[in-house]
Amino acid sequence: MTNTNPLITILGPTASGKTSLAAALAKEINGEIISADSRQVYRSMDIGTGKDLSSYEDTPYHLIDIVDAGDQYNLAEFQEDFKKVLKEIRSRGNFPILCGGSGMYIQAVLQEFKFPSIPKNDRLRSELELLSLDELKRQFETIALDNPYPTNPSSKKHFIRAIETIEWQKENEHPLENPSEQISHLIFGLNPKVDVRRERISNRLKNRLDEGLLEEVESLIAIGIAPEKLIYYGLEYKWATLYLEGKLDYSEFYTQLETGIHRFAKRQMTYFRKMEKDSLKIEWLDWQEPLDKQIDFIKRKVALLD
């Protein structure tokens, strides 16, 4: 193997089993895990973000619990933090394993993107301001299927900016400047069949509620985090906050959250397909194979780089 171990990336939609695979692989090859999850950076947001830290056991992990809940953490900060952690892991002679489902975070560090400022479109904004939140949501869901957006808008302001960004991307060949693959890497993906994925998502949601998802959100509100900030984080935190504020009954909360997670998983897969179009090769693993066979496949691919 070369003196600089390649970066191994494990990606997949939510509930695909990527964390279990990354943790098992790390134990086999003396690896350290770098989280590529845009919400796991926040402290005290454990159940809703699915940190599953117990699965790592004694495996070192990075970029989890590095920002206080209520703050905002952006892609540029992730890029800088990633570079520091990658250098540290390689200095120890260990394998860096990037694991997560935030496609834009992964792509940004693999291809070292520099993001330009996407200009405001006053004409489009004027039209969108006339729409209700539900109408904006439907428009976003329609265009995001073919034009992936990396985050989950929650407010009217966020939906307008998301639609504005996607429309700009459609008219410009690539929203990113000077991509260049400078990091030695291999990417492996897990993509269970849609019906399997949906069942896993539904089961996991029930488990998270049993584990205290609503209580977690209550505790965040109790320490002074404004509801609008929690809504900003989307999915579990958005819908749980709306329920706790009495704006939804339990049935509405559960149904809308479950639907939102299913849609998010679909958008994740759409983004991964976009990554492939952007010249990032993803080796899609057989999701039905046991972990040891998946790990053996990865180890053979890594050995070929020697």
Domain of 269, CATH number, reads 3.40.50.300
Average pLDDT over residues 249-270: 96
Number of structural domains the chain divides into: 2
What's CA 9's distance to the chain center, in Å? 13
Same domain, 138 and 183: no
Same domain, 47 and 182: yes
Nearest CA to 247 among 223, 230, 222?
A: 230
99 assigned to some structural domain: yes
pLDDT in the model for residue 175: 47
253 assigned to some structural domain: yes
Residue 151 Cα distances to 12, 101, 228, 235, angstroms: 16, 11, 16, 10
Same domain, 164 and 201: no
Is a pLDDT exceeding 70 seen at residue 275? yes
102 assigned to some structural domain: yes
Same domain, 182 and 225: yes
2 assigned to some structural domain: no
Nearest CA to 19 among 78, 209, 49?
A: 49
Same domain, 102 and 137: no
Comparing 8-22, 60-74, 181-195, the range with the smallest average pLDDT is: 181-195
pLDDT in the model for residue 156: 85
Residue 183 Cα distances to 173, 243, 291, angstroms: 24, 44, 26
223: exposed, middle or buried (Cβ count in 10 Å: 0-12, 13-18, 19+): exposed
Cβ atoms 176, 206 nearer than 8 A: no
Phi, psi (5° rounding) for residue 42?
Answer: -90, 130
The type of residue at 291 is: L
The angle formed by the CA atoms of residues 49, 52 and 55, to the nearest 5 degrees, is 160
Crossing angle of helices 194-211 and 250-277, in 10° steps, is: 130
Phi, psi (5° rounding) for residue 282?
Answer: -110, 125
Same domain, 231 and 97: yes
CA distance linking residue 260 with residue 153, whole number of Å: 11
- Domain-ending residue, one of 134, 151, 171: 171
Same domain, 160 and 192: no
pLDDT in the model for residue 181: 46
What's the maximum distance between 2 C-alpha atoms anywhere in the chain?
59
Domain boundaries, position 74: 7-115+176-303
Helix ranges, the chain (H): 18-29, 75-91, 103-110, 122-129, 133-144, 156-171, 194-211, 213-222, 227-232, 235-244, 250-277, 291-303
- Domain-ending residue, one of 154, 171, 188: 171
Average pLDDT over residues 164-190: 72
- Domain-ending residue, one of 134, 154, 171: 171
Is a pLDDT exceeding 80 seen at residue 182? no
Same domain, 110 and 251: yes
1 assigned to some structural domain: no
Q: Which residue has the higher pLDDT, 249 or 141?
A: 249
Same domain, 111 and 54: yes
27 assigned to some structural domain: yes
Same domain, 106 and 230: yes
CA distance linking residue 138 with residue 110, whole number of Å: 32
Same domain, 261 and 158: no
User: Highest mean pLDDT: which of 67-81, 103-117, 188-202, 227-241?
Assistant: 188-202
Same domain, 204 and 276: yes
Torsional class of 259: left (φ above 0), alpha (ψ -120 to 50), beta (otherwise):
alpha
231 assigned to some structural domain: yes
101 assigned to some structural domain: yes
pLDDT in the model for residue 164: 87
